[in-house]
Structure 1
Amino acid sequence: MDCKEIETLLIQALSLDEAHVTSDGSHFKVVAVGECFDGMSRIKQQQAVYAPLMEHITSGALHAVTIKTFTPTQWKREKVFNMPM
């Protein structure tokens, strides 16, 4: 499974505004941005992202996944504070 396929899967499954996926070998990093995370605990946010990926994790197509979730408002703030100078 490649990064674009994971992005598409997550955007469709969770109605995300944005999904950014990078990989380093078999380790994938996911940044998911959507209103669906508003009011959810961090655990629930992680579970929401894992759910559509579970089939691929159990099959071994995805080995390791790191997830960061943001609402659109949080994502705007995150981008401002982490912009390179």
Structure 2
Amino acid sequence: MPMHPDEIHDMIKEAFPDADIEIIDLAGDGDHFKAIVATSAFVGKSRVAQHQMVYAALKGNMGGALHALALETKVK
């Protein structure tokens, strides 16, 4: 069963309480999303490290309940 966009938002928000988060359903199928995440936790981190931090916040759901997630990360 695919993840609801609110679940994705809430998991990221739990990991990064100060984050500004936008979740976009890319294909309208509830299975392919884009997350735009801006948080101060990304200060000094490479883009790869930022993405790894977001994937970690999703607690193993990538590749399972969450099939595809494009990420755009920004320092807040």
Name the TM tier (shorter chain): 0.7 to 0.9
Runs in 1 of length 4+ with deviation above 3 angstroms? none
TM-score (norm 1): 0.74
Structure richer in helix, relative to its length = 1
Query: Which of 30, 34, 44 in structure 2 is aligned with 1:29?
Result: 34
Query: Which of 70, 76, 79 in structure 1 is aligned with 2:74?
Result: 70
Q: Could you tell me which runs of 5 or more consecutive residues in structure 1 were left unpaired when the two chains were aligned.
A: 73-85
Q: CA RMSD in A?
A: 1.4
Distance apart, 1:15 and its partner CA: 2.4
* Bigger relative CO (Cα 8 Å, ≥ 6 apart): 2
Distance apart, 1:16 and its partner CA: 3.5
**How much identity, in percent, do the aligned residues show?**
32
Q: Could you tell me which runs of 5 or more consecutive residues in structure 2 were left unpaired when the two chains were aligned.
A: none
Q: How does 1:5-84 map to 2 (within 5 A)?
A: 5-23=7-25, 24=27, 25=29, 26-58=31-63, 60-72=64-76
Per the alignment, residue 4 of structure 2 pairs with 2
Distance apart, 1:17 and its partner CA: 2.4
Aligned pair count reads: 71
Structure richer in strand, relative to its length = 2
